[in-house]
Structure 1
Amino acid sequence: MNKISAQMVKELRDKTGAGMMNCKRALESCNGNFDDAVTQLRQKGLMIANKKNSRSTKEGLIESYIHPGSRLGVLIEINCETDFVARRVEFKELAKNLAMQIAASPSVKFITKADIPESIIEEEKRIELGKTDLDSKSQEMKLKIIEGRVEKRLSELTLMDQNFIRDSSISIKELIQNNIALLGENIKLSRFERFTLGEIQ
């Protein structure tokens, strides 16, 4: 077995947000293979997040981010289960990262795809159906391509589907799941608002 150094454990923790002992165990079980350990921890984080997903989140905090120049700002409400976790530095860092992500993602209007109104989905379909670049395709192929384009557009509108700006190898959904695994509580982003100077909401 490859020797697992403290530096390897620290790098894995920085990458995944998992606890030190979990990182050490993952590296040991993967014989020191960093990428395999990352995959294992993310899968574990997903399982933990799924188990905790139905638990009530009545605590949390309001976080803000003001972009340099003070022409763009974001307010978010992020919730957890207990006041103890709401005061944790990791939870506060997650909140700040989410607010910064929203500021950097002007196309994002919704938290999840489930939040997108049916009228917007139908409008995107109508736009794609009106394009003529697929006229030579069969009807079946045309509908399949349109479905893929609409799904891509909905992902652009959705925060959870964005790549994390500070680590593009994970999505915002995975970032939150990693923190659920780390902090041991369900975490939900409830709402956000982006403010641009001179724009009326």
Structure 2
Amino acid sequence: MANFTAADVKKLRELTGAGMMDCKKALDEAEGNVDKAVELLRIKGQKGVAKRESRTAENGAVVSLIADDNSAGVLLELKCETDFVAKGEKFVAVAEALAAHVAKSSPADLEALLASEIEAGKTVQAFVDEANATLGEKIVLDRFAQFTDGYVSAYMHRTSPDLPPQVGVLVELDKENAEVAKDIAQHIAAFAPKFLSREDVPAEVVENERRVAEATAKEEGKPEAALPKIVEGRVNGFFKENTLLAQPFAKDNKKTVEKVLAEAGVSLKRFQRIRVGA
């Protein structure tokens, strides 16, 4: 039996998040050497990661990190299997560490992010794999946003008081206006627009909406002569529902979001809305 103390077991648990019995076995195998035990647990944990690949990760958290002067911001989703893990401090700490790394490194896309080094000699992918091992669940990083070219603000929404935020919104204005940024971000969280404006809707999406509107109208028996007007009305309804600037503003539905922004003298350059698992 290797010579180690209860303090060694406690330290190993804090370092790895592994269970007590696993820590004792690792210390025994490592002959009481904590660093070697950490390595053994990582090795065993990596094997466990492969077994977890077939599981689904639909719980998790959305975290944000905004620069002190609001010149930049990051929004990031980290997913796990259960809400039990999602609400744990260690899981949220992993998500926050990843957001901080994005803010520092500004990766071009997810592939670049996963390949980048978050610590000396350790990629983000390896960092996430370690989280898989220590938390005992499938952990997935597959979505983030970073804005660095305007006044950036975030709104985070909790769907349950005992869970971390499940919905996050990042907005970027052309000039500083904290109140408008907050109001617009809250509106986006509630109404989930897919696009900023009509001009941002891909042509193929518009054409598909036209085809669906025309086919629906014909199925309803509408007269042929009325079809163009009906189709145009339904396409306009699609724009009103799915483009942010055309949506009625949450706090005053007599105004569109576009009008609210115009009255405030600011423009919304872009936004990102992330809901866990959606």
The residue correspondences of 1:8-87 to structure 2 (distance < 5 A) are: 8-87=8-87
- Could you tell me how far 1:98 is from its partner in structure 2? 1.1
> What does residue 110 of structure 2 align with?
111
Amino acid at match of 2:35: D
- Could you tell me how far 1:2 is from its partner in structure 2? 4.7
Amino acid at match of 2:18: A
Gaps of 5+ in 1: 113-157
> What does residue 179 of structure 1 align with?
131
Counterpart of 1:161 (choices 115, 130, 133) is: 115
Contact 1:2 1:31 in 2 (8 A): yes
Q: Secondary structure at the residue paired with 1:32?
A: coil
Amino acid at match of 1:183: L
- Could you tell me how far 1:47 is from its partner in structure 2? 0.7
> How far, CA to CA, are the matches of 1:171 and 1:21 in structure 2?
29
> Which of 7-16 and 72-81 deviates more?
7-16
Q: Taking structure 1 as reference, are residues 186 and 11 closer, same or farther at Cα in structure 2, changes over 3 Å only? A: same
Q: Taking structure 1 as reference, are residues 5 and 59 closer, same or farther at Cα in structure 2, changes over 3 Å only? A: same
Q: Does 1:191 align with 2:143?
A: yes
> How far, CA to CA, are the matches of 2:101 and 2:17 in structure 1?
17
Amino acid at match of 1:59: N
How many residues in Structure 1 have an aligned counterpart in Structure 2? Answer: 153
TM-score (norm 1): 0.65
> How far, CA to CA, are the matches of 2:17 and 2:117 in structure 1?
16
Q: Secondary structure at the residue paired with 1:104?
A: helix
> Which of 64-73 and 187-196 deviates more?
64-73
- Could you tell me how far 1:60 is from its partner in structure 2? 1.6
Contact 2:2 2:29 in 1 (8 A): no
Contact 2:18 2:134 in 1 (8 A): yes
Q: Taking structure 1 as reference, are residues 182 and 89 closer, same or farther at Cα in structure 2, changes over 3 Å only? A: same
Amino acid at match of 1:46: Q
- Could you tell me how far 1:169 is from its partner in structure 2? 5.6
Amino acid at match of 1:111: L
> How far, CA to CA, are the matches of 1:21 and 1:160 in structure 2?
32
> How far, CA to CA, are the matches of 1:49 and 1:77 in structure 2?
19
> What does residue 98 of structure 2 align with?
98
Contact 2:2 2:27 in 1 (8 A): no
Q: Taking structure 1 as reference, are residues 8 and 58 closer, same or farther at Cα in structure 2, changes over 3 Å only? A: same
> How far, CA to CA, are the matches of 1:111 and 1:15 in structure 2?
27
Q: Taking structure 1 as reference, are residues 53 and 33 closer, same or farther at Cα in structure 2, changes over 3 Å only? A: same
Tell which has more relative contact order, 1 or 2 (C-alpha 8 A, sep 6+): 1
Q: Taking structure 1 as reference, are residues 21 and 67 closer, same or farther at Cα in structure 2, changes over 3 Å only? A: farther
Contact 1:18 1:178 in 2 (8 A): no
Q: Secondary structure at the residue paired with 2:74?
A: strand
Contact 1:17 1:178 in 2 (8 A): no
Q: Secondary structure at the residue paired with 1:181?
A: helix
> How far, CA to CA, are the matches of 1:13 and 1:170 in structure 2?
21
Q: Secondary structure at the residue paired with 1:85?
A: helix
Q: Taking structure 1 as reference, are residues 21 and 109 closer, same or farther at Cα in structure 2, changes over 3 Å only? A: farther
Gaps of 5+ in 2: 151-171, 173-268, 271-278
Bigger-Rg structure (1/2): 2
